Structure 1
């Protein structure tokens, strides 16, 4: 079986790496994604027109960059929440490989949205 390029964490909330943006974001289109959060060290890239909103956060994957990402958690949470509330489309949160920065941002959202502790939120994200 082909490894999935994105994994559903909560209804409408998807997590993965940059690979899901290839082929005109075909993987995202197939899953009904309409909003993207990029947590990457690269410049903002142009996404296909079916992506309605794109939040781009410049963040390196080095540990010293963690504080910069942490300072944007509130913005990320509000973006994801508004996107899930307003649209029928989902939200895809990604970093380079989908194993560090994006899961951290999604874990912050899960904690905020569900009001659960970090360990429980992280477990939910890891099992997605």
Structure 2
């Protein structure tokens, strides 16, 4: 999925993007359901991933199963014949490194959506682990600040609450993705400068006066070239 930068948006457009649909009334039981965060990207709890009929009705094609290693016996892919899975074993603790695991998850989601699929990202409760990954995805997708990305996801799944360690990593990821984007853009900017410089040099060469080289002639002391050719 290509990023959709928000630099061209005015304040009202950016606020509307972050706030999302205003006609949704959050109910407590909705925490047991999943919500669409982006076109093709859903976020929810493990409970949703156990219902084949619901998954198929929502058009899910890919599932990112994020679980604490201690939950592996219960939180696991249930329908490998129907969906493509990415399973990540992590710990829901403040010491867990999410940034290291995120690139693989992002690539999986990007490829799925690019193929026209729909991805469900879930952990056990859909409260801390999976939302942290989705917030980082939204941040890079829209090139938002970490706060705006967090609010964006919260306004679509109100019950999310990444733990303190995950929030710290979400903040750190803002500078990481911005640096990555700057590095990726640098070669293109350099290439544009080289092309511009070459064009400028070509234009300058065309403006310079051109002189035809004359063939040298032999001459004697009298200045007569024919006499100089005689022996």
Scaled by the length of structure 1, what TM-score is found?
A: 0.87
The answer as to 2:61 corresponding to 1:30 is: no
2:138 maps to what in 1?
110
2:112 maps to what in 1?
83
1 CA distance for matches of 2:78 and 2:99?
Answer: 25
- Give how far 1:48 is off: 4.6
SS in 2 for 1:38: strand
1:5/1:27 contact within 8 Å kept: no
2 CA distance for matches of 1:75 and 1:117?
Answer: 21
2:67/2:90 contact within 8 Å kept: yes
Higher strand share: 1
2 CA distance for matches of 1:107 and 1:16?
Answer: 13
- Give how far 1:114 is off: 1.4
Q: Give the unaligned 5+ runs of structure 2.
A: 1-26, 157-231
Alignment of 1:1-128 (within 5 A): 3=30, 5-23=33-51, 25-41=52-68, 42-43=71-72, 44-51=76-83, 53-65=84-96, 67=97, 69-87=98-116, 89-128=117-156
Looking at CA atoms only, which structure, 1 or 2, has the larger radius of gyration? Answer: 2
Runs of 4+ in 1 over 3 A off after TM superposition: none
2 CA distance for matches of 1:61 and 1:45?
Answer: 19
1:20/1:28 contact within 8 Å kept: yes
1:61/1:100 contact within 8 Å kept: yes
| Count of matched residue pairs | 123
Q: Give the unaligned 5+ runs of structure 1.
A: none
2:46/2:125 contact within 8 Å kept: yes
Scaled by the length of structure 2, what TM-score is found?
A: 0.50
- Give how far 1:81 is off: 0.8
Select the structure with the greater relative contact order (CA < 8 A; seq sep ≥ 6).
1
- Give how far 1:101 is off: 0.6
